[in-house]
Chains A and B, each alone.
Chain A
Amino acid sequence: MSEIDLVDGNLALKEIQKLDGHTDRVWSLAWNPAAGAGGLPPTLASCSGDKTARIWQQGPSGSWNCTAVLEDAHNRTVRSCAWSPCGKLLATGSFDATTAIWQQIGGDFECVATLEGHENEVKGVAWNSSGSFLATCSRDKSVWIWEMQPGNEFDCASVLHGHTQDVKMVQWHPHLDVLVSVSYDNSIRIWIEDGDLNGWSCVQTLGETSSGHSSTVWALSFSSGGDRMVTCSDDLTMKIWDTTNNPSEDGSWFHLCTLSGYQDRTVFSVNWSRDGIIATGAADDSICLFHETKDSLVGGLSYSLILKKDKAHDMDVNSVQWNPNEPKILASASDDGSIKLWRLTQVP
C-alpha cells in the first residue's frame, strides 16, 4: 500500500456501484484473474439462490453491467463459483450436487462440462494455481479432486475423506498443490498429493485443540505469498495461521493469532488482498478490514482493525473479494440480492 497510510490514515470504503439483477440471495463472487490481458475488461462472476450465475463487466464509461446470465445448468441454488487461472473457464457448484464448467464461446457462455459424483449439495469449488486440478466439496463430507484433461474432460483423481460433517469451502495454496478445506465439523484440513497410488492425503487437521475454531468454519484465504492463511467462523472469530516450513509438510501450520470482538454474528467470508489487507463479511451486515501491525511492547505480530463498515448491506454479507488486479477494489455480495463494488480510499 504505497499511497495509503494504514496506521495513521483516515480510511473509507466508498461505494462505487451497486449491481442489481439477482432475484435471490447472492452467495459468492469471483474476479476473473485474467482481466487486462488480451483486452478483457474487469470481470466479476456472481452466483445466487436464484439458480443462476451472472457475469458483470466494466464498460468503457467505467460503469458496470451484467453481460451474461448463466442459467439452465443448475436446478437449485448455485452456491459457489471460481475462474480458472487463465480466466477462460468458470466453475459453478450447486446444491443440485453437480459442478458445471462454463466457457465463453463467441458472445455466449456455454456449459461445456458437468461434473457429477457428489451425493448432495456442492458447497465450494476451487482451481489450483496451474489450472490442472479442480477441487469440489460437499455436504456429503467429501472433497473431490478433478484432473483436467484435453477437450474439457474432467477425471476424478481422488476422493478425500476425513471431515465428519459438511465441507463448507476448499481453497488451493497460491502456488503449491496444497489444498485446504474447512467444515461444519469446526476443523480445517490440509491435503497434499502423497505420491502413492491414490494420490492425496490429509497431512494436518487444525481443530479446537490446535487453537482452532469452536464452531463451523465458513471460509479461508491465503496471503499472497502463501506463508499465512486466515479462516473465519460461526464462533465470530478470525484466525491467522502461519507456516515457517514448507506449507505442504506434515504439521507445518500453526496458530498465530485470533481476531475477535469485531462482528457479533457469523463471519461468512474472509479474503486477503494482494496488499495484505484482510476483509471479512458477516451476518451483522458489516464489512471489516484488518492489517498487520507490529506490537512494539511485546515485539510480536498482531492484526488490527483498520475499518468497519456498518450496514454495508441491508442483510447478511456472504462474500467479500478483493480484485486481484486492482487491489483497492472490493466486491461484496449479500442476502439482500445485491452486489456492491467498493473503493478503499484515504479521506483527508
Chain B
Amino acid sequence: MKLVEAMKVIDDGWVRRLKGFRVHFQKRENSQWATDYFPGQKAQPITSEISIWELARRFAEATKSEGPETTDGDIVNIYVVDDLGNPVKFYATNQPKIFNYREIG
C-alpha cells in the first residue's frame, strides 16, 4: 500500500472535523412532541462548542418545568448536536449529556 493510500485510510478513520453545533430540544405543542433546533437548520451553526453547551444549559434552566405533568409549551431533552444532527458528547466528560431529560414514548 502506498503512503498516500494509507494516509487516506487513517484520515477516514480519524475524528471528523465538525462544522458547527446546534441545540436540539423537544417542545410540547397541541399535545404532541415536536423536535426543533437553534440556530435553525437553515441558519449557520455555532462554531464554539463551549458557547453552545453554555447556551443549552441556560436554555434548560430557563425552560425547566415545575411539576411532572406534561403541558403544552414544555421543553425537554435539550442537548447539543453537530452539523449532521448527531448528538455531541459533553466536552468536559466526553459522555452524552441531556438537560431536562424526559422519556417520550
Interaction A to B: no
Q: Which residues of A contact B (CB under 8 A)?
A: none
